[in-house]
Chains A and B, each alone.
Chain A
Amino acid sequence: MKQLLLELAPRPEPTLDNYVAGRNGAALAALRALADAPEAGAVVYLYGETGAGKSHLVHAVAEAWRRRGRPPAHFLAVDDAHRLDEAAQGALFDAFNEARAAGGAILAAGDSRPRELRVREDLRTRLASGLAFQLHPLSDEEKATALRQRAGELGMRLPDEVIAYLLTHLRRDMPTLIAVLEAIDRYSLTAKRPVTLPLIREALQALNGGAR
Chain B
Amino acid sequence: MEGFWHHCLARLEKELPAQQFTTWIRPLQVDPERSTEDELCLTAPNRFVLQWIKDRFLSRIETLAGEERGKPIRVSIALAGVEPEPAAPAAPFVRRAASSEKSAAPRQQAATADSRSNLIAEFTFDNFVPGKANALARAAAMQVAENPGTSYNPLFVYGGVGLGKTHLIHAVGNHVMSEQPGAKVRYLHAAQYISDVVRAYQQKSFDAFKRYYHSLDLLLIDDIQFFTGKDRTQEEFFYAFNALIEARKQIIITCDTYPRDIAGIDERLKTRFSWGLTVAIEPPEQEMRVAIILKKAEALNASIPEEVAFFIAKHIRSNVRELEGALKNVLAFARFSSKEMSVEVAREALKDLLSVHNRQISIENIQKTVAEYYKIKVADLHSKKRTRAIARPRQMAMALAKELTEMSLPEIGEAFGNRDHTTVLHACRTIATLRTKDPELNRDFHVLEQTLKG
Contact = CB atoms under 8 A, between A and B. Distances in A.
A21 to B, nearest CB: 12
B288 to A, nearest CB: 17
A168 B425 contact: yes
A6 to B, nearest CB: 33
A129 B321 contact: yes
Nearest to B350: A132
A41 B146 CA distance: 29
Interface stretch (B94-102, B259-267, B332-340): B332-340
B329 interface: yes
A111 to B, nearest CB: 9
B329 A94 contact: no
Contact of A125 (B161, B189, B408): B161
Contacts of B333: 26
Contacts of B191: 90, 93-94
A116 B355 CA distance: 12
Contacts of B223: 122
A29 B409 contact: no
Interface stretch (A55-63, A154-162, A170-178): A170-178
19 contacts: A25-B336, A26-B333, A30-B332, A49-B406, A90-B191, A94-B189, A113-B352, A114-B325, A125-B162, A129-B324, A130-B324, A132-B325, A132-B353, A134-B353, A168-B408, A168-B421, A169-B408, A170-B408, A212-B410
A44 B430 CA distance: 41
Interface in B140-176: 160-162
Given A113-B353, A114-B325, A137 B406 contact: yes
Contacts of A125: 161-162, 318-319, 321-322
A185 to B, nearest CB: 20
Contacts of B332: 26, 30, 131
Contact of B358 (A30, A113, A126, A137): A113
B408 A171 contact: yes
Interface string B402-426: 0000111111000000000100010
B421 A101 contact: no
Contacts of B247: none
B328, B333, B407, B425: residue with the most chain A Cβ atoms closer than 10 Å: B328
A112 interface: yes
Interface of A: 25-26, 29-30, 43, 49, 51, 90, 93-94, 97, 100-101, 112-116, 121-122, 125-126, 128-134, 137, 168-173, 176, 212
Contacts, number: 87
**Ranked 4 nearest A-B pairs via Cβ:** A129-B321, A125-B162, A134-B352, A173-B406
A172 B406 contact: yes
Contacts of B376: none
Contacts of A114: 322, 325, 353
Nearest to B122: A41
B154 to A, nearest CB: 21
Contacts of B325: 43, 114, 128-132
Given A101-B120, A129-B321, 17 more contacts: A26-B336, A90-B191, A93-B191, A94-B189, A101-B118, A113-B352, A113-B353, A114-B325, A125-B161, A128-B322, A129-B325, A131-B329, A132-B329, A132-B353, A169-B409, A169-B410, A176-B406
A174 B243 CA distance: 61
B410 A115 contact: no
B406 A115 contact: no
B117 to A, nearest CB: 11
Contact of B353 (A51, A115, A122, A126): A115
B162 A94 contact: no
A114 B322 CA distance: 9
A94 B319 CA distance: 20
B360 interface: yes
B22 interface: no
B168 to A, nearest CB: 16
A171 B406 contact: yes
A97 to B, nearest CB: 6
Nearest to B160: A121
Contacts of A130: 324-325, 328
A79 to B, nearest CB: 19
Contacts of A101: 118, 120
B189 A97 contact: yes
A126 B189 CA distance: 15
B131 to A, nearest CB: 19
B261 to A, nearest CB: 16
B406 A212 contact: no
Given A26-B332, A101-B118, A169 B421 contact: yes
B192 interface: yes
A134 B329 CA distance: 11
A93 B220 CA distance: 18
Nearest to A134: B352
Nearest to B328: A131
Given A26-B332, A113-B358, A169-B421, A129 B322 contact: yes
Contacts of B410: 169, 212
Contact of A168 (B318, B321, B409): B409
A110 to B, nearest CB: 12
A212 B408 CA distance: 7
B296 to A, nearest CB: 10
A134 B189 CA distance: 32
Contact of A115 (B192, B322, B324, B337): B322
Contact of B318 (A30, A115, A126, A171): A115
